[in-house]
Amino acid sequence: MFSYPFMQRALTAGVLVSLCCALLGVSLVLKRYSMIGDGLSHVSFGALAVAVALGFAPLAFSIPVVIVSAFFLLRMAGHPRWNNDAAIAVMSASALAIGIVVISLTTGMTTDVDNYMFGSVLAMTDTDVTLAVALCSAVLALFVLFYHKLFAVTFDESFSRATGLRVDLYNSLLSVLTALTIVLGMRMMGAMLISSLIIFPALTAMRLFRSFRAVVLCAGGVAVACFCAGLAVSFAYSMPVGATVVLADLAVFLGACLLGKAR
């Protein structure tokens, strides 16, 4: 099945994006920011719709928009006086609604919506693959270089702050990378499903392992394996790839739950 160039592109970009999602996801899930991924994917959907309607280059327009919203969401999530999850829900619903209205005003509810919502393997271009490679290298480099600092910031922000770590810098880095990953990933995985790439591998790994390092490694492995399995199933039965990957993730997660219980 890899004789098709689009499948090669989908595999390369998909493996890299899932790996990034899983690594970032461990931090996001542990910091209780799981919903941010969901919110960002909906914002990304809205931004893409607007970009297509106005004739902008889709990625060039949506990447800055999503990065800005990522900062905004992160600020909001850390705000003591705001109702964070409600605020995120409001934001993602609004972005979704804006996107749909814009699409129906311009091209009509065609396959575009379908593609954005549920993804398509055909959506990955050569540019996307190049971007995915660059992004994934950035995320991996970040993880290796700042592994201990990210651990400290994830585990205990106030302690890290008190010992002079630049917590806000690391949080911003985390949100920028998450935003980029989501914008890239959602064209293939779809806005509805991309956030599960962030959440599932981390949850699965947390069921099975007790040290942070093992959780990070396991999440990466699970994400890549599930993506490959999902892609293969999607190719064999011509189903949307986002859904099959999520189902593979779900199956592994349930297996991990059982295994965790059995111990």
Residues that bind other proteins (CB under 8 A): 30-32, 144-145, 147-149, 151-152, 155-156, 158-165, 205-206, 209-215
The nearer residue to other proteins, 6 or 147, going by C-beta atoms, is: 147
Of 40, 52, 39, the C-alpha closest to 113 is 52
Closest approach, Cβ 260 to other proteins, in A, equals 11
Closest approach, Cβ 81 to other proteins, in A, equals 11
The nearer residue to other proteins, 4 or 82, going by C-beta atoms, is: 82
* Distance from C-alpha of 123 to C-alpha of 58, rounded to nearest angstrom: 12
The nearer residue to other proteins, 25 or 46, going by C-beta atoms, is: 25
Closest approach, Cβ 149 to other proteins, in A, equals 6
Closest approach, Cβ 127 to other proteins, in A, equals 33
Helices 84-106 and 34-54 meet at what angle, rounded to 10? Answer: 20
Residue type, 44: S
Closest approach, Cβ 227 to other proteins, in A, equals 23
The nearer residue to other proteins, 32 or 79, going by C-beta atoms, is: 32
* Distance from C-alpha of 185 to C-alpha of 65, rounded to nearest angstrom: 16
Closest approach, Cβ 141 to other proteins, in A, equals 12
The nearer residue to other proteins, 55 or 164, going by C-beta atoms, is: 164
Closest approach, Cβ 158 to other proteins, in A, equals 4
The nearer residue to other proteins, 129 or 202, going by C-beta atoms, is: 202
The nearer residue to other proteins, 118 or 151, going by C-beta atoms, is: 151
Instruction: Please count the other Cβ atoms lying within 10 Å of the Cβ belonging to residue 100.
Output: 17
Q: What SS3 string covers 15-84?
A: HHHHHHHHHHHHHHHHCCCHHHHHHHHHHHHHHHHHHHHHCCCHHHHHHHHHHHHHHHHHHHHCCCCCCH
